[in-house]
Amino acid sequence: MPIHEKSLIRPEDLTEHEKLEIDGVDVSGHWSTFIETRVVSDYNERMEEEIASLPGGEYIHRCWQCSSCTNVCTVNDLNPDFNPRYWIYLARMGFEKELLRDKDLLWQCVSCHKCTHACPRDVVPEGVMKAMATWAELKGHTETSPSAAFDAEFTEQIVATGKIEEGRIIRGFFKRTGQPLRQRWLMEMSLRLAKHLPILMGLKMALATLFRPRTRDWGKSQAAIADYLVEREAANRRALNLD
Ligand code: SF4
Ligand code: SF4
């Protein structure tokens, strides 16, 4: 019997016979496609709980596998292996090893939230993707991803000044990830921006890059956010039994 959703099965789990005849019937090629039998014995029974305990993962249990998230996903459109629905299934079943086969894809969510708007169960799949990537990182399965490096740079700047200055964030992000500042796309974008940006706004942005303004009376908020981040980090580590 042909497999209609062949794209959802990993190629190494499929066997196809180029030449095969059964009871006098030619079943060569895709007519003889079989899925390899497999036995899963090493579940991580706490996996759903672990991901649910990280920020964004709280509603993973609501998923009913309708695939609306994957259908609208921006990254899935470019790479069909990026499949939030499937990864949520794996996490809920405790199939840790299977999920880790895609560990280098998990962080590639671009946080567009299309999945969140499409989800009929309010799972907030964008949050679940974030929680999964954090989970993989905290457990030592992946290095710090570019996405996490960007978040760290963004957070540090907010904590320090209470403001976001895009130029500084981009510079900091490139430095953290070892990328050169001179990148073709960035030069092109800056040139286009310079052409269309009102002069006063451009001047304001340039001054903000140079002088790093702070939000007035930022001290108390800064201390509260800094405390929260320390508490959150400790809570994440406790949830995954890392201490
Ligand atoms: S937020 Fe992430 S998972 Fe959701 S649609 Fe966008 S890229 Fe896909
Ligand atoms: S759209 Fe929501 S309910 Fe449907 S598979 Fe995705 S997360 Fe699950």
Give pLDDT, residue 196. Answer: 85
Which of ligand 2's atoms lies nearest the C-alpha of 84? 6
pLDDT band with cut points at 50, 70 and 90 for residue 1: very low
pLDDT in tens, 127-146: 999 999 999 999 999 999 99
Instruction: Calculate how far, in angstroms, residue 117's C-alpha sits from the geometric centre of ligand 1.
Output: 10
Q: Which residue CA neighbors atom 6 of ligand 2 most closely?
A: 69
Lowest model confidence (mean pLDDT) among 166-170, 175-179, 206-210: 206-210
Mean pLDDT of 199-224: 85
pLDDT in tens, 102-123: 999 999 999 999 999 999 999 9
Domain 47-142 has CATH 3.30.70.360: no
Mean pLDDT of 184-192: 88
DSSP 80-132: TT--HHHHHHHHHHT-HHHHHTTTTTGGG-----HHHHH-TT---HHHHHHHH
Q: Give how far Cα 40 sits from Cα of 90, 99, 136, 170, 184, Å.
A: 12, 13, 20, 44, 47
Q: Is any atom of ligand 2 closer than 6 Å to the C-beta of 69?
A: yes
**Taking the domains of the chain in order of start, what are their residue ranges?**
6-35, 47-142, 146-235
Say which amino acid occupies 181.
L
Which of ligand 2's atoms lies nearest the C-alpha of 68? 1
Give pLDDT, residue 4. Answer: 61
Rounding to the nearest 10 degrees, give the CA dihedral for residues 127, 129, 131, 135: 180
Give pLDDT, residue 234. Answer: 95
Which residues are CB-neighbours of 204 under 8 A, at least 6 positions away?
Answer: none
pLDDT in tens, 10-52: 888 888 888 988 899 898 888 888 888 878 788 899 999 999 9
CB-based contact 9:19 (threshold 8 Å): no
178: nearest Cα among 143, 133, 223: 143
Q: Which residue CA neighbors atom 1 of ligand 2 most closely?
A: 119
Angle at CA of residue 166, ends 178 and 107, nearest 5°: 55
pLDDT at 2 over 60: no
**Six token digits for residue 238:** 């406790």
Site to substitute for ligand 2 among 72, 76, 88, most atoms within 8 A of C-beta: 88
Give pLDDT, residue 238. Answer: 93
Say which amino acid occupies 46.
R
Output the ligand 1 site: residues, CB below 6 A.
72-75, 84, 109-115, 125-126, 129
